[in-house]
Amino acid sequence: MRLTTVLYALLGLFALCVPLLGIYPVFMMQLLCVAMFACAFNLLLGFGRMLSFGHAAFFGSAAYATGWLVTAHEWGPGAAILAGVAVAALLGLAVGMLAIRRQGIYFAMITLALAQLVYFVCLEAPFTGGENGLQGVPRGELLGFLPLKSDLVLYYVVLAVFVAVYLFIHRVVHSPFGQVLKAIRENEPRATSLGYEINRYKLLAFVLSATLAGLAGSLKALVFGFVTLTDVDQSTSGEVILMTLLGGTGTFFGPVLGAAVVVTLRQYLSDLVGGWVIAIIGVIFVACVLSFRSGVVGELAAWQLRRQKPSPH
């Protein structure tokens, strides 16, 4: 476990020094937002064992809310982000209440259907700009004095939020709530027989996941300065599933790793191999499902565990 702390410290140092190393801050911020989204999704999939096929609905709707409030109503970034998060939470509650009643494939299909409805609303609503999206979202000043227009300042803000979210998820999973969730995941009938109202727990997990996804979306709106339909569409939902699966469901760092790999692949590879990126991502996806079922981090963790214990075979 000491090793893990060392690794985290190294990563933290790396993250803090990013601007000094000459890495493009906007790229890193994109990575952090996406990683946040993946971690939020993993709370649901990895720790709650619920596969949502329409998580982009929460990410994108928060982004639209924040973007619109900042552009059309000139709200400050802090308030707008909070509003965006609130929108995602409410939406999560609504979707969750409908979806929780079913399990497995049916749960996934309901989330898919409801996400399509959200997409439709975003397409048709007058304030979202439809296919053109919301453009020119200003960054403003956080808390009245932090100029977010500077990529540097915004980077550290996003980094701080990311770390907070990461620690929060860690805390949730290790809390009594998280333990009950684990029990539900491993043996639902048993948990019910012990008197736990599983639907309440599942719903709370869903809402938490949606809220954090919304936070990622709101930040993304400010980082890039625009919100488009891509943020609520099926491909974004699919991509977050991919990242989480790739990095490792049920681990903390897995989604971050998965997000980093996918975003980097897109950035780096698309210059080299152009449109083959999608196909390559698909191959990696299939490989993960077939062999790396617990994802890269999961496999490494399991491998490490095997090495520690003297194994009979």
Partner 1 sequence: MTTVFGIPVAVILGQLTLGLVNGSFYAMLSLGLAVIFGLMRVVNFAHGAFYTLGAFAALLGLQWLGINYWASLVLAPVAVGLVGIVVERLLLRRVYGLDPLYGLLLTFGLALICEGSLHQVFGASGQSYPVPPALAGAVNLGFMFLPLYRAWVIAISLVVCFSTWFVIERTRLGATLRAATENAPLLQAFGVNVPLLVAATYGGGVALAALAGVLASPIVLVNAHMGSSLVIVVFAVVVIGGMGSIFGSIVSGLVLGVVEGFTKVIYPEASNVVVFLIMALVLVLRPTGLFGRE
Partner 2 sequence: MKLRMLTLAALAGLVAAAGGQALAADEVVIGDIDDMSGVYADVEGAAGVEAIRMAIADFGGTVLGRKITLLTADHQNKPDIGAAKFREWADQNGLNLLLGGSNSGVNIAMSKVASAKKVPFFVIGAAGASLTNEDCTAYTVHYVYDTTSLANGTATAMVAAGGKTWFYLTADYAFGTQLQNAASKVVEAHGGKNLGAVRVPLGAADFSSFLLQAQASGAQVLGLSNAGTDFSNSLKAANEFGITKTMKPAALLAFDTDINSLGLQTAQGLTLTTGFYWDLTPETRAFGKRFFAKINRMPTMDQAGVYSATLTYLKAVKAAGTTDADKVMAELKKTRINDMFAKDGYIRADGVMVHEMYVMQVKTPQESKYPWDFYKVVKRMPGEEAFGPITGLCPLAPAPK
Polymer length in residues for the chain: 313
Q: Work out whether 80 is an interface residue with partner 1 (CB under 8 A).
A: no
Query: Is position 130 an interface residue for partner 2 (rule: CB under 8 A)?
Result: yes
With binding defined as CB under 8 A, does residue 280 bind partner 1? yes
Question: In terms of CB distance, is 56 or 241 closer to partner 1?
Answer: 241
- State in angstroms the smallest separation of the CB of 49 from partner 1: 9
Q: Does 57 bind partner 1 (CB under 8 A)?
A: no
Identify residues 228-247 at the interface with partner 1 (CB under 8 A).
234, 238, 241, 245
Contact yes or no for 20/152 (Cβ under 8 A): no
Residue 38's binding partner out of partner 2, partner 1, none, with CB under 5 to 8 Å set by partner kind: none
Separation of alpha carbons 152 and 16, rounded Å = 11
Q: Which residue lies nearer to partner 1 by CB, 104 or 147?
A: 104
> Which residue's CB is nearer to partner 1, number 25 or number 231?
231
Specify whether the CB–CB gap between 118 and 112 falls below 8 A. no
- Please identify, using beta-carbon distances, which residue of 123 and 300 lies nearer to partner 1: 123
Cβ at position 176, least distance to partner 1 in Å: 27
133 vs 140 by CB, closer to partner 1: 133
Interface residue with partner 1, options 8, 120, 127, 268 (CB under 8 A): 120
Q: Based on the shown chain and the rule CB under 8 A, indicate whether residue 112 belongs to the binding site for partner 1.
A: yes
Asked if residue 79 binds partner 2 (CB under 8 A), the reply is: no
| Cα separation, 63 vs 58, whole angstroms | 8
Q: From the list 20, 22, 312, 313, which residue makes contact with partner 2 (rule: CB under 8 A)?
A: 22
Interface pick for partner 1 out of 117, 160, 167, 302 (rule CB under 8 A): 117
Burial 53-78 (b: 16+ CB within 10 A, else e): bbbbbbbbbbbbbbbbbbbeeebbbb
In sign, the C-alpha dihedral spanning 104, 248, 86, 235 is negative
Q: Does residue 104 interact with partner 1 by CB under 8 A?
A: yes
- Contact flag: residue 279 with partner 1 (CB under 8 A): yes
Structure tokens at 273: 């191999």
CB of 250 to partner 2, least distance (A): 16
**90 binding partner (options partner 2, partner 1, none; Cβ < 5 to 8 Å by kind):** none
Q: Please answer whether residues 153 and 146 qualify as being in contact, where contact means their C-beta atoms are separated by less than 8 angstroms.
A: yes
Give the residues across from 227 on adjacent strands: 134
282 binds, among partner 2, partner 1, none (CB under 5 to 8 A by kind): partner 1
Q: Contact positions toward partner 1, by CB under 8 A?
A: 51, 98, 101-102, 104-106, 108-110, 112-114, 116-117, 119-120, 123-124, 234, 238, 241, 245, 274-283, 285-286, 288-290, 293
Residues that bind partner 2 (CB under 8 A): 3, 7, 10-11, 14, 21-24, 26-28, 31, 130-133, 135-136, 151, 224-226, 228, 230-231, 257, 260-261, 264, 267-268, 274-275, 296, 300, 303-304
